[in-house]
A and B are shown apart, each in its own frame.
Chain A
Amino acid sequence: MPGRDLHIGDIVIENRLQWCIGGAQGSGVDTSANIFSRACAEGGLWVVGKREYYSNIKGEHSYFVVRVDRNRVDALTEGFDVLATFDEETVARHFDEVRKDGGIIYDPSLASKKVADIPTLDKRIKDEFAERFRQSGTITIMTLLEDAKKRGVHLFPVPYSTLLSGVSAKTGEKRQSVLGRMVNVIAVSASFALMHYNLNELESSIDHVFGGRKKLSEPNKIAAEVTYEYMAGNFKDGLGYQLSRVATEGKRLLLNGNQAIALGKLAGGLRFQTYYPITPAADESTYLERYERFSVKDGDKKGSLMVVQTEDEISAITMAIGGALSGARSSTCTSGPGFSLMSEGIGWAGINEVPVVVTNYQRAGPSTGMPTRHEQGDLKFALYGGHGDFPKIVLASGDVEESFYDANLAFNYAERYQLPVIHIVDKAMANTTITLPYFDPDRMTIDRGLFLGDGTPFVLKEGEEYERFKFTESGISPRVPIGTPGGIFWNTGDEHTELGHITEDPVIRDRMMDKRMGKLDLALKEIPEDEQYHYFGAENPDLLVVSWGSTKGSILEAMARLNQHSGKIGFLQIRLIRPYPAQAVIRLVKSAHKFAVMEMNYVGQLADITAENTGLLADYRIVKFNGRPITVDEAYVSLKRIVEGKSEKRVVLTHGA
């Protein structure tokens, strides 16, 4: 990190910090983070945040990191300036991550708790503490806090129960169950009070998060006021960080990746969505279900979107295909285990040339893996999953904003080329909360390809039959929905004739394979280059970083930092991975001195795929697979080491709690 010289009382850092809140799952970490993020955003600041949690309903440790800045931010850095804790475990897990001159807010009644007694803390961590603090006798929370203090971290003991008594006196609320939940707001308020942030923004955020339910919001606002008073009275100097309202231009959103993709699908014409519950994909479908009826421009009737919860992912993909056969834009969303179950159905859509979109939110695999943690481990499976050769398009969004517009592109590709499209995103995007400019659906164009979907009859010459799989020059045959007058057709998972009847004729087989697979060449020719990949940074760079998906934000910021001094770095973000834009990649790689592929999986899947498609072997593979997204700092350090000639050929990044 760039050097900082902070002193309590001297405000030197304004509107730029990273905050973390943690506690037991189910204790309100999410609510707190929502209140915090929204309060910042309502003051015109930009935020990006990530949620980390266990596959658990109540009790395990969860935390939320929010980065706040006066400018737009897309990725998280390492370390926190302020750590707000509800419980002893949060202190134990994160005290080391608090930067020098940062602060830890904690309940002093927890200070004497023994680390060994925290039931949910991994033995590996307890063993490491036992070794590290072996001089200290019994290791308590205070042992850890004192250690942080020695590094220059400021401690802010906030007695939650005392503050709650104050709230109780002011509100008349006596129920412990209700008061207990206000600890969330107290932790957020204590953080904001240290940052000298305006109470009004916080109160407005509380109103919004509690949905205008005065019974909830009023006492919480009183809790905020009580906390501000307490903090002002007890920690006069506050911290060396200040947040203040800034002016913004244009309307902005505060949302997560699940919501962005759901909105993109809805605008892009999705009318039939199926799903089986799975983390971290299901929130997309439940969000869509909530908005199943919507207004239609220039229409007097409401539009509607049907969301069906199925019995499994096999049903989800096959039902979505059925919806597409009837003519609706149809999709399903899932994550690794469900995606595995969908393989056979996706192959069926391939051989029957059915446009269907599968949004795969990757999570750490294999098998159940780490269901709530992040990874980009499904790329090869997205490309190769399914038996036999059939065409499908794989589109990888790089951030939440891209994912909104890509939701429509995925449908366009599916319908134009009549094939399944895998829109591949990940847990980090699903659970990223971010401020963004309003989306502009008018930037989307809806392309349904050779599709006759408005109910007009399919006109044939006398004596001719409609041939669903008619051989054409482009390889694409006109498609009609089931129920079209004149448009009776057959589909089969068997190899088939132009009519769609089963055949094992070797000549027809060859022609049908050519017809289907040829669509990928056509797609690569027709899809605009700026949809295929994005290139950032210097031309003819010393180092070209190639990546895909949600690493984008960290790489861009690391590159900007690096380009300030050490160098000429370029970044190639590949979005279209099948068909693979080989010519463009070869040209860009050859324009660079060296190239590195950075991604969140063990083997370096994109690096392999790049070699397969271009014959070019990456000079460096930077990988990470511990379930936590690559931070700006990790990207920065690993790239810097390459530039300085100090890097290994394979670098494994390991940051994260």
Chain B
Amino acid sequence: MALKMADMKTEMHNDWCPGCGDFGILSSVQMALADMNLNREDSVIVSGIGCSAKLVHYTNVTGIHTLHGRPLPFATGVKLSNPHLNVVVVGGDGDGLGIGAGHFVNGGRRNVDMLYIVHDNGVYGLTKGQASPTLKLGEKTKSLIFPNITSSINPLILAMASGYTFVARGYAFNVSHLKKLIKMGIEHKGAAFIDVLQPCPTYNDINSKEWYNGEDRMEEGGGKAMPRVYSLESEGYDGRVNTEGGKDAETVMLDAIRRAVEWGDRIPIGVLYNNEEIPTYEERMLQRMPEYMELPPARQRISDSRKKPIADITPFMDELSV
């Protein structure tokens, strides 16, 4: 029976601020999961700490709400122990690129087959609006006492440099586009990363919904808002790596970096980089352990009917025998 959007919701009261970009991301995740019609039990969402992390409680699949900055290693353990699970990770920009930046980088190196979505709003919302790692240098959002004194990270370039094999950007209020990206990210073989631009109506008064919509640019637009966000697909951009077809990873990545640095009046969304030529961590492990997919760690029996160990350590003891 096909899943409906309603099947993906829980009865938990949603306590995000009205107008928060998180709602768009939540709907996109739920729609993507419903559309894909996976067994609800086979999906798990792992989140960090912050407003974004509450997403798991609103979604009717197993949800693991972890620690600040740590959803990636938790999720990696879940996935490697049972690679048949569909693992989606969500967290904020401070969570993933500040306190969790080490895990972000190393998550790319591993290329475990899962999707990581970062809610990118430039501020730490739950602690009242401090600058996050994606807020631009010199910007002064509402609760900052002085303009931001640190430079920003470009999550897309960092993701590519780290080894993520699917790198995309979405916009929280373009739900149908974001839903497609999420489905692609889940279907992607390897570590997928989606940076989702997301207004924080309470604390980020610079990158607001109106700003993304270009409502400040009515004059240039002849009385019409000129949206800043544009989709890469609409301009014929294709981020797929196809080495045999003449588009190797380096070529695509350099194009992607040019797009990733665009900001201001033109902000691209869509898939910047998609490389399925890199083996996943699971595939690398399968080379060493041919039984891995059939009998991953979580699915192995460890004792017999008498509750006695079944791993035979005798050969290893024999190597140490005297």
Residues on A lying within 8 angstroms of B by beta carbon are: 38, 41-42, 251-255, 259, 263, 266-269, 271-272, 274, 291-299, 301-306, 308, 310-312, 314-316, 318-330, 344-345, 348, 408, 435, 438-439, 441-442, 444-448, 453-455, 481-494, 500-502
How far is A252 from B317 in the complex, measured between Cα atoms in Å?
9
Q: Contact between B106 and A269 (Cβ–Cβ < 8 Å)?
A: no
Q: Contact between A488 and B61 (Cβ–Cβ < 8 Å)?
A: yes
Asked whether any CB of chain A lies closer than 8 Å to the CB of B300, the reply is yes
How far is A318 from B79 in the complex, measured between Cα atoms in Å?
13
Q: Contact between B321 and A438 (Cβ–Cβ < 8 Å)?
A: yes
A212 CB to closest chain B CB (Å) equals: 12
Within B106-165, the residues touching A (CB, 8 Å) are 106
Residue in B44, B56, B289, B313 whose beta carbon sits within 8 Å of that of A441 in the complex: B313
Q: Contact between A323 and B312 (Cβ–Cβ < 8 Å)?
A: no
Known: A294-B316, A305-B297. 14 other contacts (CB 8 A): A294-B313, A314-B103, A322-B80, A325-B64, A325-B74, A327-B81, A328-B296, A345-B67, A482-B62, A482-B64, A483-B62, A487-B62, A501-B57, A502-B65
Q: Contact between B73 and A297 (Cβ–Cβ < 8 Å)?
A: no
Mask of B55-73 contacts with A, CB within 8 angstroms, 1/0:
0110011111111001011
Residue in A41, A253, A295, A482 whose beta carbon sits within 8 Å of that of B317 in the complex: A253
Residue in B41, B76, B84, B296 whose beta carbon sits within 8 Å of that of A486 in the complex: B41
Given contacts A294-B316, A348-B67, contact A446 B294 (CB under 8 A): no
Given contacts A263-B317, A312-B102, contact A322 B81 (CB under 8 A): yes
Asked whether any CB of chain A lies closer than 8 Å to the CB of B278, the reply is no
Stretch at the interface among B169-177, B252-260, B302-310: B302-310
How far is A253 from B314 in the complex, measured between Cα atoms in Å?
11
Asked whether any CB of chain A lies closer than 8 Å to the CB of B2, the reply is no
How far is A555 from B298 in the complex, measured between Cα atoms in Å?
42
Residue in B73, B75, B105 whose beta carbon sits within 8 Å of that of A314 in the complex: B73
How far is A286 from B18 in the complex, measured between Cα atoms in Å?
51
Asked whether any CB of chain A lies closer than 8 Å to the CB of B261, the reply is no
Q: Which residues in B have their C-beta under 8 angstroms from that of A455? A: 299
How far is A252 from B302 in the complex, measured between Cα atoms in Å?
25
Q: Contact between A481 and B298 (Cβ–Cβ < 8 Å)?
A: yes
Asked whether any CB of chain A lies closer than 8 Å to the CB of B85, the reply is yes
B86 CB to closest chain A CB (Å) equals: 9
Q: Contact between A318 and B41 (Cβ–Cβ < 8 Å)?
A: no
How far is A201 from B280 in the complex, measured between Cα atoms in Å?
49
Q: Which residue of B lies closest to A493 (CB)?
A: B67
Given contacts A294-B316, A321-B77, A438-B321, contact A482 B82 (CB under 8 A): yes
Q: Contact between A272 and B302 (Cβ–Cβ < 8 Å)?
A: no
Q: Which residues in B have their C-beta under 8 angstroms from that of A316? A: 73
How far is A272 from B63 in the complex, measured between Cα atoms in Å?
21
Asked whether any CB of chain A lies closer than 8 Å to the CB of B33, the reply is no
Residue in B42, B56, B310 whose beta carbon sits within 8 Å of that of A303 in the complex: B310
Asked whether any CB of chain A lies closer than 8 Å to the CB of B220, the reply is no
Asked whether any CB of chain A lies closer than 8 Å to the CB of B292, the reply is yes
Q: Contact between B297 and A328 (Cβ–Cβ < 8 Å)?
A: yes
Asked whether any CB of chain A lies closer than 8 Å to the CB of B1, the reply is no
Q: Contact between A327 and B298 (Cβ–Cβ < 8 Å)?
A: yes
Q: Which residues in A have their C-beta under 8 angstroms from that of B308? A: 441-442, 444-446
Q: Which residues in A have their C-beta under 8 angstroms from that of B303? A: 269, 446, 448
Q: Which residues in B have their C-beta under 8 angstroms from that of A444? A: 308-309
Q: Contact between A446 and B313 (Cβ–Cβ < 8 Å)?
A: no
Q: Which residues in B have their C-beta under 8 angstroms from that of A305? A: 297
Q: Which residues in A have their C-beta under 8 angstroms from that of B105? A: 311
Q: Which residues in B have their C-beta under 8 angstroms from that of A255? A: 320
Q: Which residues in A have their C-beta under 8 angstroms from that of B106? A: 310-311, 315
Within B271-302, the residues touching A (CB, 8 Å) are 285, 288-289, 291-292, 294-302
Given contacts A269-B309, A441-B309, A483-B41, contact A304 B67 (CB under 8 A): no
Residue in B60, B75, B79, B310 whose beta carbon sits within 8 Å of that of A488 in the complex: B60
Q: Contact between A301 and B322 (Cβ–Cβ < 8 Å)?
A: no
Q: Contact between B312 and A322 (Cβ–Cβ < 8 Å)?
A: no
Q: Which residue of A lies closest to B47 (CB)?
A: A492
Q: Which among A326, A447, A491 has the highest number of chain B CB atoms within 10 Å?
A: A326
Residue in B73, B309, B315 whose beta carbon sits within 8 Å of that of A318 in the complex: B73
How far is A391 from B78 in the complex, measured between Cα atoms in Å?
23
How far is A405 from B146 in the complex, measured between Cα atoms in Å?
59
How far is A299 from B312 in the complex, measured between Cα atoms in Å?
10
Q: Which among A253, A267, A481 has the highest number of chain B CB atoms within 10 Å?
A: A267
Q: Which residues in B have their C-beta under 8 angstroms from that of A494? A: 65
Asked whether any CB of chain A lies closer than 8 Å to the CB of B189, the reply is no
Q: Contact between B310 and A326 (Cβ–Cβ < 8 Å)?
A: no
Q: Which residue of B lies closest to A299 (CB)?
A: B310
Q: Contact between B309 and A294 (Cβ–Cβ < 8 Å)?
A: no
Q: Which residue of A lies closest to B58 (CB)?
A: A501
Q: Which residues in B have their C-beta under 8 angstroms from that of A320? A: 77
Q: Which among B67, B85, B320 has the highest number of chain A CB atoms within 10 Å?
A: B320
How far is A490 from B54 in the complex, measured between Cα atoms in Å?
11
Q: Which residue of B lies closest to A302 (CB)?
A: B291
Q: Which residues in A have their C-beta under 8 angstroms from that of B41? A: 483-488
Given contacts A323-B81, A345-B67, A491-B65, contact A254 B320 (CB under 8 A): yes
How far is A491 from B63 in the complex, measured between Cα atoms in Å?
6
Given contacts A314-B70, A318-B66, A486-B41, contact A327 B307 (CB under 8 A): no
Q: Contact between A301 and B294 (Cβ–Cβ < 8 Å)?
A: yes
Q: Contact between B82 and A481 (Cβ–Cβ < 8 Å)?
A: yes
Task: Give 5 A-B contacts (CB < 8 Å), ordered by A residue.
Answer: A268-B302, A324-B77, A481-B298, A483-B44, A488-B62
Q: Which residue of B lies closest to A404 (CB)?
A: B313
How far is A309 from B218 in the complex, measured between Cα atoms in Å?
54
Q: Contact between A271 and B57 (Cβ–Cβ < 8 Å)?
A: no
Q: Which residues in B have their C-beta under 8 angstroms from that of A482? A: 44, 62, 64, 78, 82, 85
Q: Which residues in A have their C-beta under 8 angstroms from that of B297? A: 271-272, 304-306, 323, 326, 328, 330
Q: Which residues in B have their C-beta under 8 angstroms from that of A259? A: 320
Q: Contact between B321 and A326 (Cβ–Cβ < 8 Å)?
A: no
Q: Which residues in A have their C-beta under 8 angstroms from that of B313? A: 263, 266-267, 294, 439, 441
How far is A435 from B12 in the complex, measured between Cα atoms in Å?
59
How far is A58 from B280 in the complex, measured between Cα atoms in Å?
37
Q: Which residue of A lies closest to B65 (CB)?
A: A492
Q: Contact between A489 and B62 (Cβ–Cβ < 8 Å)?
A: yes
Q: Which among B79, B285, B292, B303 has the highest number of chain A CB atoms within 10 Å?
A: B303
Q: Which residues in B have their C-beta under 8 angstroms from that of A291? A: 316
Q: Which residue of B lies closest to A502 (CB)?
A: B57
Q: Contact between A297 and B310 (Cβ–Cβ < 8 Å)?
A: yes
How far is A271 from B289 in the complex, measured between Cα atoms in Å?
13
Q: Contact between B102 and A311 (Cβ–Cβ < 8 Å)?
A: yes
Asked whether any CB of chain A lies closer than 8 Å to the CB of B40, the reply is yes
Q: Which residues in B have their C-beta under 8 angstroms from that of A252? A: 321-322
How far is A325 from B81 in the complex, measured between Cα atoms in Å?
9
Q: Which residues in B have their C-beta under 8 angstroms from that of A344? A: 67
B2 CB to closest chain A CB (Å) equals: 18
Mask of B2-45 contacts with A, CB within 8 angstroms, 1/0:
00000000101000000000000000000000000001111010
Residue in A319, A329, A483 whose beta carbon sits within 8 Å of that of B82 in the complex: A483
How far is A438 from B61 in the complex, measured between Cα atoms in Å?
47
Q: Which residue of A lies closest to B70 (CB)?
A: A318
How far is A252 from B60 in the complex, measured between Cα atoms in Å?
55
B198 CB to closest chain A CB (Å) equals: 21
Q: Which residues in B have their C-beta under 8 angstroms from that of A348? A: 66-67
Q: Which among B78, B105, B291 has the highest number of chain A CB atoms within 10 Å?
A: B78
Q: Contact between A483 and B322 (Cβ–Cβ < 8 Å)?
A: no
Q: Which among A254, A298, A325 has the highest number of chain B CB atoms within 10 Å?
A: A325
How far is A455 from B39 in the complex, measured between Cα atoms in Å?
14
Q: Which residues in B have their C-beta under 8 angstroms from that of A321? A: 74, 77
A652 CB to closest chain B CB (Å) equals: 37
How far is A344 from B321 in the complex, measured between Cα atoms in Å?
41
Q: Which residues in B have their C-beta under 8 angstroms from that of A453? A: 298
Q: Which residues in B have their C-beta under 8 angstroms from that of A314? A: 70, 73, 103
Q: Contact between A323 and B311 (Cβ–Cβ < 8 Å)?
A: no
How far is A303 from B310 in the complex, measured between Cα atoms in Å?
9
How far is A502 from B301 in the complex, measured between Cα atoms in Å?
34
